[in-house]
Amino acid sequence: MQRPISSPIETVIEAFARGEAVILLDHPEREGEADMILAAQCATGAGVNALATIARGLITVGVAAQRLADLGIPMIEPANCRENYPHFAEPVDYTIGTTTGASAFDIATTARALTDADARPEDFARPGHLLPLAENEAGLAGRAGHTEGAVALARLAGLYPASLICEVLAPDGRMASGETLRRVIEENNLLVTTVQYVADAVRATLQA
């Protein structure tokens, strides 16, 4: 099954730096899934609402494990997980300038707060409505997943290394693929890249 055509990685990085959402594909032999991602630093209510209405999957936020530790956000102990499982932390709500924490605007506020150097552990309620995912400590070298690719893309864009992530679902609720995924991408004018292209860009940056 043919995959959507990727955009030049430089174009994707520039769009991501401007606060635009993009599609991130992983390896077809891994999960073979597409996620819609948005830089946490650039999160807005409209942007989060777009993730919810276009991608329609679970909204999470990928962030460095050390950042979660600094904010006192504990990891969730895994049990009966498959290989390459994502490392979830306790869901949080930022308590300043929000209401219940459930709206797209509150989720955007929480995501931005995770990138704010002035945010303190006591500013986050647990449990909340936004699930953090801890980036592997070795980044893409340690785990070539959507979490690591999304966080790495934020770094490449010169932004705080944290990204909102949402799986792209088909109208029937299954994971979107093939022509269904292509239609979502084309109808919403989304740029596309892959975890591998992000990893290649990271290596090129380190070698420069």
Question: Residues 171-196: pLDDT tens digits?
Answer: 999 999 999 999 999 999 999 999 99
Question: Residues 63-110: pLDDT tens digits?
Answer: 999 999 999 999 999 899 887 788 999 999 999 999 999 999 999 999
- Tokens representing 101 are 């924490």
Distance CA 8, CA 15 (A): 11
Burial of 3 per CB tally in 10 Å (0-12, 13-18, 19+): middle
What's the mean pLDDT when you consider all of the chain? Answer: 94
Q: Which parts of the chain are beta strand (E)?
A: 22-25, 34-39, 56-64, 92-94, 124-135, 162-168, 192-194
Distance CA 32, CA 15 (A): 23
Domains and CATH numbers, the chain: 9-78+86-207 (3.90.870.10)
Of the ranges 16-25, 73-82, 149-158, which one carries the lowest mean pLDDT score? 73-82
Cα first-last separation, the chain = 36
**Cis ω before 28 (30° cut-off from 0):** no
What pLDDT score was predicted for residue 99? 97
1: pLDDT strictly greater than 50: no
